[in-house]
Amino acid sequence: MKKVVVKIGGSLAIDEAKLADFVSAVSTLPGSGCQVAVVHGGGKDINENIALLKEQPTFIDGLRVTTPGIMKMVEMTLSGHVNKKLVRMLLNNNCNAIGISGVDGNLFQVVKKQGKVDLGLVGEIKQVNPKIVTDLWSAGWTPVVSPISIGPDADGNGVSWNVNADTAASELAVALEADQFVLVSDVPGVMDENKNVIPELSEADAEKLIEAGVISGGMIPKVRESFKSIRRGLKSIHIVGWKDAEHFGKQINGDLNYGTILR
């Protein structure tokens, strides 16, 4: 069986027509020789809910500064609303979907992410226990994974931590030794200074584009974490936009590249 990890986020997670098209495409994969795990973000849903707290979202290098109040809202939004919406849609397409987060089965174990500034409850994954995913695959389920993870607080108690969904997906793909890892983004791929898609990109060229400000915002952790995964065993990672189910199917089958391949 071909092991496939797909990460979705951005507008795809909230655009009903695109999401329905994505769900229909994913639902056909288990019957065509693929074991699929879907990892999702949901930043736009989070921002809408955080507005209820009257807290202004703050990002540093594409990572959300996460206060305790925001953490509660992030977990409710991702592991609750977004996760269960995707599961419901897959079930309605006759796909045996089940929703989990990085907390379940100690899937993603983290420590506090260190940096130039305190990001709050933002975790850095130190260990992945993929057994819950492989067990679900063996039982015929398609896991839908929220990136909320578990790790110790200052007193050593296990609490929930916010983890970048691209990072979580990359780590899961490595731990599963996935045959294919596809990142479905709001943009059609990594763009050059003229806003054209770069078909293939090396790590050295990517860092030059980051330094030049061509690659910016949320694409920075997306690209950097992807190359970390490649150095740890993944052959290539595809960053693509969403066109339709046909393009996505061809991408999975290796018949087409309409985004950026990181090697």
The total number of structural domains in the chain stands at 1
Range of the domain at 90: 2-262
* Predicted confidence (pLDDT) at residue 253 exceeds the cutoff of 90: no
**DSSP three-state, residue 38:** strand
CATH of the domain at 193: 3.40.1160.10
What pLDDT was estimated at residue 103? 98
What pLDDT was estimated at residue 131? 98
pTM above 0.75, yes or no: yes
What pLDDT was estimated at residue 254? 83
Query: Which of 10-24, 154-168, 170-184, 186-200 is least confident?
Result: 10-24
* Predicted confidence (pLDDT) at residue 132 exceeds the cutoff of 90: yes
User: Rounded mean pLDDT of the chain?
Assistant: 91
What's the Cα-to-Cα distance from 129 to each of 104, 176, 201, 263, rounded to whole Å? 10, 9, 30, 26
pLDDT band at 15 (very low <50, low <70, confident <90, very high): confident
| Mean pLDDT calculated for residue range 151-167 | 93
Indicate the pairing of strand 180-184 with strand 2-8. Answer: parallel
* Predicted confidence (pLDDT) at residue 144 exceeds the cutoff of 90: yes
What pLDDT was estimated at residue 109? 98
DSSP string, 71-115: HHHHHIIIIIIIHHHHHHHHHHTT--EEEEETTGGG-EEEEEPP-
What pLDDT was estimated at residue 231? 92
* Predicted confidence (pLDDT) at residue 228 exceeds the cutoff of 90: no
DSSP string, 159-198: EEEB--HHHHHHHHHHHHT-SEEEEE-SSSS-B-TTS-B-
Alpha-carbon gap, residue 260 to 263, rounded angstroms: 10
What pLDDT was estimated at residue 76? 94
Percent of residues, the chain, with pLDDT higher than 90: 65
Query: 172 is written with which tokens?
Result: 């899961």
Assess contact for 165 and 59: CB atoms under 8 A: no
Percent of residues, the chain, with pLDDT higher than 70: 100
* Predicted confidence (pLDDT) at residue 233 exceeds the cutoff of 90: no
